[in-house]
Each structure stands twice: as structure tokens, then as C-alpha cells.
């Protein structure tokens, strides 16, 4: 029997959805206090385009699925963005490789990309390398 519990939904949500929903829940992001503008993320699923629209005003963030014009538009496939949102891929490296298309205000996106998580901790690998055999 399904509980309809919010935590159950979060557990099954894609990393992209989790990232944007967490940002919306925070409402204010200190790392964005010096910027204001709009960013639209167009994520290709193979069949459709999933859109995430952000309005940032001095750190206050509003997240929606609006399709309107934006100061910056980021286009990539959703699978890559899932990797970025989970820390398994680096947004800047993907941009430099040409697998992310960016249109508009680059400085806005550069500041925003600081919110993406870093790579998963390699503590287990480092500990294993440090052990003597």
C-alpha cells in the first residue's frame, strides 16, 4: 500500500528534481546574494524537454517549470544534468566539452554553478589506499 509520503517521493525522485526542489524549499541561497536574474534549464529527455525556470533576486530563489524567456538558458540532456546534480559530473567541464549549450548571461550561470555538489567523497578509496598490505 502506497503511503503518499513526501519522503517516499523524494527517495524515488531523479537527482535533477531533488536538486531543484531542495533549492525551492530553501528559498534563499546565500551564495547567490550578489546576483539577480533568470535562468532556464532545458533538459532533453529524448522524448520531451523538461524545463526548470529560476528567478533569483539577491539570493531569493523561485523555482518553476515556466517556459518564458530568461537572462540565461542552459540546454543539455537530462541524464547529464542528473549527473551534475548528484556530483558525478562537473558542469564547467561539460560546458568546455560542448555537451552543455549556454545562451545569454554567462556570469549568472557561473555564479549559479557553485550550488552544484562536488564529487562524492572518496574516503573509502583513500582509506583503502592508505592501508598497509
Range of the structural domain that residue 88 is part of: 14-115
Predicted confidence (pLDDT) per residue in 59-80, tens digit: 999 999 999 999 999 999 999 9
Q: How far apart are CA 7 and CA 16, in angstroms?
A: 16
Whether residue 7 is contained in a domain is answered as no
Predicted confidence (pLDDT) at residue 124 exceeds the cutoff of 80 = no
Query: Any idea what the CATH number is for the domain that residue 99 is in?
Result: 3.30.1050.10
Cell triple for 44? 532533453
101-132: b or e for each residue (b if 16 or more CB lie within 10 Å)?
Answer: ebebbeebbebbeebbeeeeeeeeeeeeeeee
Contact between residue 62 and residue 54 where contact means Cβ atoms under 8 Å apart: yes
**How many Cα atoms occupy the beta-carbon half-sphere of 120 within 13 Å?**
5
Measure the CA–CA gap between 55 and 80, rounded to whole angstroms: 23
3-state secondary structure of 87: coil
- pLDDT for position 62: 95
Residue 133 pLDDT grade (very low, low, confident, very high; cuts 50, 70, 90): very low
Q: Tell me how many domains the chain contains.
A: 1
Give the model confidence (pLDDT) of 10-56 as tens digits: 556 799 999 999 999 998 999 889 999 999 999 999 999 999 999 99
In a domain, 60, yes or no: yes
Residue 53 lies in a domain: yes
pTM of structure: 0.80
Amino acid at each position: 500500500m502506497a503511503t503518499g509520503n513526501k519522503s517516499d517521493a523524494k527517495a524515488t525522485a531523479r537527482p535533477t528534481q531533488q536538486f531543484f526542489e531542495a533549492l525551492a524549499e530553501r528559498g534563499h541561497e546565500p551564495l547567490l546574494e550578489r546576483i539577480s536574474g533568470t535562468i532556464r534549464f532545458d533538459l532533453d529527455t529524448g522524448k520531451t524537454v523538461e524545463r526548470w525556470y529560476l528567478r533569483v533576486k539577491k539570493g531569493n530563489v523561485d523555482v518553476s517549470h515556466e517556459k518564458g524567456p530568461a537572462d540565461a538558458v542552459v540546454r543539455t540532456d537530462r541524464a547529464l544534468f542528473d549527473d551534475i546534480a548528484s556530483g558525478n559530473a562537473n558542469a564547467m567541464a561539460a560546458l568546455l566539452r560542448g555537451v552543455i549549450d549556454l545562451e545569454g548571461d554567462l556570469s549568472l550561470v557561473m555564479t549559479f554553478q557553485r550550488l552544484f555538489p562536488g564529487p562524492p567523497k572518496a574516503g573509502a578509496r583513500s582509506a583503502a589506499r592508505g592501508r598497509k598490505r
